[in-house]
Amino acid sequence: MSLLNDAACVESSRVLSRFRKDVYACLRARGDALFELTDALLCAPGPVHSPVDLSLSAEYRRGHGALYGGLNHGRIDVEQLREVLARLPLPRWPDGRIVLAVDVSPWLRSDAACSAERLFCHVYGRAKSASQFIPGWPYSFVAALEMGRSSWTAPLDVVRLGPADDATAVTAAQMRGVIERLIAAGQWRSGDPDMLVVADAGYDITRLAYALRDLPVELLGRIRSDRVLRLPAPPRLPGTNGRPPKHGDEFALADPATWPKAAVTTVTDTTHYGKAETSAWDRLHPRLTHRAARPGPGRPPGIPNRRPAPHYDVGKTVKRGRTLAVLQQSGG
């Protein structure tokens, strides 16, 4: 189990036994080989560098031929497995709320030149604490968070992002599927607090909020410190001519002089970071333009349709001399 037992208030052996039976039922072909392979992978004392090493472990009672047969010809019912994960006991916060986190974690494949659909993944701290772009496969994870300082989470879904995928659209569809499965499993009922989804700065929270507006969910996302938002439009005074404004004054996060009086302010003493002060303003919003992704359907009236930018696969590289020759032939 990837979840602390006391956080979910369940009996560990009973839940684990039922979970193993449900996982085994999701294996449609070569189930025995895949199930023992999963046990061997989870019980490995360290990183697994080759699948054949797992066939030598005590948990795997078959030969290496059955191992590769399970990997090549085994079948997993992914949708059924997602429903099994949604039925597991989930950690809840003191008010009974379920908190979900969504984030992208890459599987770096810099030396796998024959691996298709690789993307340049943004990673940190691999060279003198500087960010880099390394070819790999990005995966979008959704997990339920436990309250407090703990690294235990309950994974609920994972989706691989492709070269032609819209990250925000894929995330919205993924979150919708997770939330609907949680509701169908009885994890949320009418009258319960809305689920809280937390995301990092790389997500378009405004667009996600529009895509998930019909679900019992609230979104909390981090934004860049140099963003400029808009305040609500001021009330229209009697006798004013002209078109009413759509937006209010600018709200620059980097310029406190543009901040009006906060609607809510809280002060909390923390054990590690001292006093934490939080301010909140109501109805702050970004100003949408034709260059940004709009939360609503369609494009702004009068804006011509633009062809999407081409996506390139980084699976193959060419030498510089060949690249220059191709550019000269194309006139570039």
Inter-residue contact 248 to 227 (CB < 8 Å): no
Mean pLDDT of the 168-192 span: 94
- Per-residue pLDDT at 49 exceeds 60: yes
Confidence at residue 127, expressed as pLDDT on a 0 to 100 scale = 59
Inter-residue contact 108 to 125 (CB < 8 Å): no
Confidence at residue 263, expressed as pLDDT on a 0 to 100 scale = 92
**Ramachandran assignment for 69, one of left (phi > 0), alpha (psi -120 to 50 degrees), beta (any other):** alpha
CB atoms within 10 A of CB 94: 6
Q: What is the pLDDT of residues 250-285, one digit of tens each?
A: 999 999 999 999 999 999 998 888 899 999 998 888
- Domains of the chain, by residue range, sit at 228-235+244-280
Q: What is the pLDDT of residues 103-142, one digit of tens each?
A: 999 988 888 888 888 888 888 766 566 778 888 999 999 9
Confidence at residue 237, expressed as pLDDT on a 0 to 100 scale = 84
Residues 6+ apart with CB under 8 A from 19: 1, 84, 88
Mean pLDDT of the 178-193 span: 95
Confidence at residue 128, expressed as pLDDT on a 0 to 100 scale = 61
- Per-residue pLDDT at 153 exceeds 90: no
- Per-residue pLDDT at 5 exceeds 50: no
Confidence at residue 328, expressed as pLDDT on a 0 to 100 scale = 60
Residues 6+ apart with CB under 8 A from 136: 106, 107, 108, 109, 110, 118, 119, 121
Q: What is the model's pTM?
A: 0.77
Q: What is the pLDDT of residues 283-302, one digit of tens each?
A: 888 887 655 555 554 444 44
Q: How far apart are CA 83 and CA 323, in angstroms?
A: 49
Q: Kindly give the pairing relationship between strand 274-280 and strand 264-270.
A: antiparallel
- Per-residue pLDDT at 303 exceeds 60: no
Angle CA 264–267–272, to nearest 5: 140
